[in-house]
Amino acid sequence: MSAGTMTSSEYIKHHLTNLTFGRHADGHWGMAHTAGEAREMGFWAIHVDTMFWSILLGALFLFYFTRVARNATAGVPGKMQNFVEWIVEFVNDSVRSSFSGKNDLVAPLALTIFVWIFLMNFMDLLPVDLIPWITGHLGIAHFQKVVPSNDPNATFGMAIGVFLLMLYYSIKVKGVSGFVGELTLQPFEAKNPLLKALFVPVNFFLEFVSLVAKPISLSLRLFGNMYAGEMIFILIALMFTAGPLLALFGGSLQLVWAIFHILIITLQAFIFMTLTIVYMDMAHSEH
């Protein structure tokens, strides 16, 4: 839908509404046709566009990297092989510098997170009206958000996955008693048994808050940056309907923001990957 066929408020709401499948107020299941219907579907509603684009981009990542790995040569590498090798070496160096334990899962996990999040973020560089216009004319979707990392459901899903891995390896490496001790016996310590017992609830509160804050900050940081970036692109797109002069200014502004946004989408993928490596290192480190 074009900004010229609706008000500015309607245009912004349209682009910030997910294609949602869920249970309607009358009990039947189906797609939401308005933003109000999408909100009424509640917790169990599925954001179809987020699921579709994230799975498609993940499959694209697996396809090309698998293809390059199968066709890799020991001689002079082609452009695609050279590019993939550069990414793998970059991620491997990051793992070596931040992870002190021994776990063959960490490097592939870091590679998957970095490339997958980068691809999802990269969708933000597409014109905001392009894919919604195509799907709208094909009658496929009423709404369409093509940036999965602009959906907190996606960012929280990835962060919770990392968090569960962190808990699993914390218990596996340190044992249940070691993990519980880590939550209750630091940062305040005492040799006196009475003081030690008094410090346990204080330590647990501080460490539990710190533990729970990890997936929350991990997900909200990515979501917040991508949401802000998408909002700026939407606001710039509105300038194209405000006359030739503002349209020309908006086009220049869009180009500048897109170039700057390349740094943001790369940095956010790198930060998510680096924090994942650090959290996994903490799970493997015994205090």
Token pair belonging to 230: 């998408």
DSSP state letters, 137-168: HHTS-S-----GGGSHHHHHHHHHHHHHHHHH
Q: Of 231, 232, 229, 239, which is closest to residue 262 (Cα–Cα)?
A: 229
User: What is the per-residue burial (b if ≥16 Cβ within 10 Å, else e) of 143-170?
Assistant: bbbbbbbbbbbbbbebbeebbebbeebb
- The two tokens of residue 115 are 């490339």
Judge whether 5 and 14 are in contact, CB under 8 Å.
no
Is the bond leading into 187 cis (omega within 30 degrees of zero)?
Answer: yes
Ranges assigned E (strand) in the chain: 20-23, 29-31, 46-47
Q: How far apart are CA 61 and CA 58, in angstroms?
A: 5
Catalytic residue numbers? 217, 221, 225
